[in-house]
Structure formats: structure tokens, C-alpha cells
Amino acid sequence: MTRVLVTGFDPFDKDTYNPSWAAARLLQENPPDGAEVTAVQLPCKYDESLKVLREAVLETDPDLVMSLGLSPRSGISIERVAINVNDCPAADNAGRTLKGEPVVADGPAAYFSTLPIKRCAREVWQNGMYAEISHTAGAFVCNHVFYGLMHLLATEGKPRRGGFVHIPHTPEMPAVAQGRAPSLPVDLTAKGLRIVLSTALAHETDIDIPVGATH
């Protein structure tokens, strides 16, 4: 049995719901074949999020970590790169606003996902759902967790792989009613994420197709 850690976040900003946590739990309840998924909720706080993540990695000793977060994306948005910057006008759930601080002092500028991101996106497309490769996870707590995760995996010297996926709002959320965000019901989001996960578990190497944009 392959051990997988999936993280989601608690609600942040003005929301009372975060589908990333709901999706993580759906994956724990109904994991891909051959995988045992542990879902862990991370607080949307710069400091505490990485402490909880580190403890969860130590406790569950996963082969693969997939962290999830909410963002106004059109579908399953598979992140390519985490940057060593916290810089966002939004306050985290501890009330902190950061303006350019590194995630890890003296850490490298960026880390790439170690999941086969293009292969995962193609597999989602082939199942009739929208997926994309994203070249920025922002500079708020999601990027912070993505960078902190990849730094942990790079420095602990174990063969664990990891990555980050942003997911859309659900139709009931206020941002959708206000016309500010696309939406997808969370069971469909979980279906797409299950495809991402099973593809990542089955393949260590990526495929060779161009996915970047001209802008």
C-alpha cells in the first residue's frame, strides 16, 4: 500500500468554507487503488501551516504529498513552481500581512514540483475534465506551504515526492454568486484530483509536451 498525505486548508479571508479541505477528505474516504490517503487540515497561517505539515509528514511517513488550496481557477490547476517569497495584501488567519519576506531565509529562489505535472494534466483532459499547468501558486499561504513542503522534501533526504494543486470554488460560495470566480462542485474536483493522484503514483517521469504560454 502506498502512503499518501493530502493536505487542505481551513477557510480564510471572508469565506466560511474551503473546498480544499473537503476535497482532501473525499480523497481519504475514496482513495485511488493501492493508496492509503491521510487527509490533514492546515491552518491558513504562515507560521503554523508549516509546523502542522512537518508533523504530518513525520507522523504518516508518506511516499507522496499532495497539498491543495483554493484559488479562483477554472479547473484542476497543477502548480509547477514554488517561490521563496511571501508577499500578499491579504492577511493570514493570524492577521499577518507579509511584504516580500522569504519562506526560508537563504533557501533557493524556487523549487519545482516533483510530480509528473504534464502527465497528470493530460490524464485529467483525457477523462473529460479541465486541468492546467500553473506557473504561479501566488505569494500567499499556498505558495508558502508549497515552498516549505518542497524544501522539507529536498532537505530530509528521503525519496518522497510532492506537489501542490489549486482547486476552484464551489458553486455555493459567495465569490461565485458575485461573479468573481469560476466554480466546480467539490465531488467533481475530487474526481479530477483522484486522477492526478493515481497518475502521479503510477509514474515518476513526466511526458514531453509543451505547456507554457507566450505571455
What kind and span of H or E run contains 48? helix 46-60
Binding status of residue 38 toward ligand PCA by CB under 6 A? no
Distance of CA 19 to the CA centre of its chain: 12
Residue range at the interface with ligand PCA (CB under 6 A); choices 67-75, 105-113, 168-176, 198-206: 67-75
> What distances in angstroms separate CA 197 from CA 77, 123, 149, 177, one per listed residue?
13, 10, 17, 30
- Is residue 142 among the annotated active site residues? yes
21 is written with which cell numbers? 479541505
Under a CB-based contact definition with an 8 Å cutoff, are residues 145 and 67 in contact? yes
Stretch in the footprint of ligand PCA (CB under 6 A) among 30-38, 116-124, 134-142, 189-197: 134-142
Q: How many residues form the binding site for ligand PCA (CB under 6 A)? A: 12
Interaction pattern, residues 140-159, with ligand PCA; x per rule: CB under 6 A: xxx-----------------
Which of 90, 81, 86 has the alpha carbon at shortest distance from 102?
A: 86
The grid coordinates of residue 104 equal: 526560508
For residue 138, state whether it binds ligand PCA (rule: CB under 6 A).
yes
**Nearer to ligand PCA among residue 71 and residue 183 (C-beta):** 71
What are the catalytic residues? Answer: 79, 142, 166
Binding residues for ligand PCA, per CB under 6 A? 9, 12, 18, 20, 44, 69-71, 138, 140-142
